Structures are given as C-alpha cells and as structure tokens.
Amino acid sequence: MRRREFLGRSAALAALAAFPGLGCEKVKASTESTGLAQGTGAAAAATANPLQAPAKGKILVAFVLSRGAVMIDFAGPWAVFGNVMVPSRGPTMDDQMPFDLYTVAETAKAVTVSDGMKIEPNYTFDNAPAPKVIVIPAQGGDSKRMVDWIKSSSQHADLTMSVCTGAFVLAKTGLLAGKPATTHHDAYRELAVQYPDIQVKRGARFVDAGNVATAGGLSSGIDLALHVVERYFGRAIATSVAYDMEYQGQGWTNPESNAVYAAVKVSTDEHPVCPVCQMDVNPAGAPKSTYKGKTYYFCSPGHKASFDATPEKWI
C-alpha cells in the first residue's frame, strides 16, 4: 500500500509539473477547500510540544511486544507511522518516508498476540537499535528485562508512548511518576490505586506529557500516533496521513474527546459494577466479598484478590 501511495502521489506531482500555471498555492487552496489540509496555516504553526525531526535519516520506532499484546494497540500506530510521507525530505520514496518501524521482544521466538496471531520479533532487547519513539501496547508481559530496556532506551528517545493498559508497563518504569496519564476507561481506578503518584486523567483520548505520552483504550492509539506525527511534521502532514488511511476520527485533534468515559459508574444492587475496574458484573456466579456489611461483586478472581488485600482503597 505504501508503494502504491508513493506512486500515486508521484503521478500527481508529475501532473502538476505538466501545468506550470497551477502553482503550489493553488493546490494548497484546493486541498483546504476539500478538507484535505484542514488545520494548516495558523493552527499548524501552533503545534504543541514540537519534536525535532532529523533533516535526513530515519526516526526509529520500536514496538515492544510480549504475550497477549493487543493487535489494534500496536497495529494502529504502526499503520500511522508507516504511512507518513514528507515530500520535502528528498526525491526518493526512502527519503520521504521518515519512520523506520520494528518489533522488539524478550526473545527471538514468535510472540502470540491477541486472538492467537503469532509475530516474529525483528529484534530482542539484547540487539535492538536505539529507538527515537517507543510504543507500548496493552499486553501480558512486564518482565524486568522489558521494563529495564524501556527505561534505558527512553533516556535517548524523543518519546515513549503507551496505548490502553500498556500504561501499567510504562508506569512500572517510573517514567510516569508525578505526571498526568490515561489508560483504558475500565482501568482508571486500578492505575490510580497502584500508582498514586500518577495524575490519572479520566475521559482523555490521550495525554501528552512531553517525552512520555499515554493513550486511552484500543483505537485511541491511532489518535496519539497522529498527534506524534503532528509534533514532528505539523498538522498538514498528520492530516494527510489520516486522509490517506481513510481515518475519519478527529480525536487526535482534541485530547478531551473521550469525555464520555469520564463519568464514574455507580454500583447498585440491581446493576453491580466491579469496584476495581467498574465493569458491569452479573452477580449470578460472580466472585464476591463482604466488607463492612456490604457485598461487592467482581469481574474476576484477580480483582477480588486486589479488593480483599486493601478494600478501603477501592471504595
């Protein structure tokens, strides 16, 4: 797809060259009128927390994977970064595509990610090149080697970002201490309880804290990735990527667009919710505990165990 995209754009540029009277300003006006370059102009010049892209060479993006890594959490940002084209960087496709993507895991063995797909990592933590962007999806692993690699690599990276409950892995590195962050809406309370030094932002599509950033659940990672592209190359390039992907979401332009998830669910006897994650629970057969005369129902034995250890933190 990326090659077809490049050839298509090259053809458009060739057509433009064939009509000298059709200058760049006219093309710019035309794309703005059709929505292809929305957000350009003054808005583009006001990109928050800009990142300095190298004039030449690649921006290496590492996707950290372990068992159960959630597909959309890393595939969404992978597609975003992989489809960025910046024509001003040079004449060839390789020049114009600034991001170089790779997967990294604890071993070279295939990683079984969500729904059973197997992915063979490009590198291990022992031989991976130094990344400029690190992407941490929701996943089942958070080994010491993984945490140490993320922490060490982040020292020389432009940005370390998590998607969904990948925020828990990022939090384990200590890089979120004292900073605002978000995660999947079912994990707000759990993140706040486990890491009280993190300012958990409910209802945020993503939270940009400079050299670290966190996205809400699942598709939110696409928006954070587009925001990162904007930080490197401006609003017009990010808009072009979204357009080429036929991505209609506007969450990347408004980090507060997850406001629907900000409300705290109220647990009732008729409709109980898990006090740890606030998921709806069917009390028939669900794990339960009684604390100070009140019965609480849980979505899983693990969340019951967390509640039983320190119930006052979850009420």
For the chain, domain boundaries: 44-260, 265-314
201 close to 14: Cβ distance less than 8 angstroms: no
Residues facing 14 on adjacent strands: none
- pLDDT at res. 315: 85
Q: Does the pLDDT of residue 13 top 60, yes or no? A: no
Q: How confident is the model at residue 46 (pLDDT cuts 50, 70, 90)?
A: low
Q: Which is higher by pLDDT, 25 or 128?
A: 128
224 close to 77: Cβ distance less than 8 angstroms: yes
- pLDDT at res. 16: 34
pLDDT by residue (tens digit) across 280-303? Answer: 999 999 999 999 999 999 999 999
Q: Which two tokens stand for residue 291?
A: 């604390």
Tell me what percent of the residues of the chain surpass a pLDDT of 90: 82
pLDDT by residue (tens digit) across 58-70? Answer: 999 999 999 999 9
Cα 26–29–34 angle (5° rounding)? 125
Q: Which two tokens stand for residue 158?
A: 């432009």
Cα 214–216–218 angle (5° rounding)? 115
- pLDDT at res. 14: 40
Alpha helices in the chain (DSSP H): 2-17, 24-34, 42-45, 71-82, 93-96, 144-154, 166-172, 188-194, 220-233, 235-244, 301-309, 311-314
Q: Does the pLDDT of residue 31 top 70, yes or no? A: no
- pLDDT at res. 243: 98
140 close to 102: Cβ distance less than 8 angstroms: no
pLDDT by residue (tens digit) across 120-162? Answer: 999 999 999 999 999 999 999 999 999 999 999 999 999 999 9
Candidate CATH numbers 3.40.50.720, 3.40.50.880, 3.30.750.80, 3.30.420.40; the one for domain 44-260: 3.40.50.880
List of residues 6+ apart from 52 with CB closer than 8 A: 158
CA pair distance 133, 239, nearest whole angstrom:
20
Q: How confident is the model at residue 310 (pLDDT cuts 50, 70, 90)?
A: very high
- pLDDT at res. 47: 74
- pLDDT at res. 48: 78
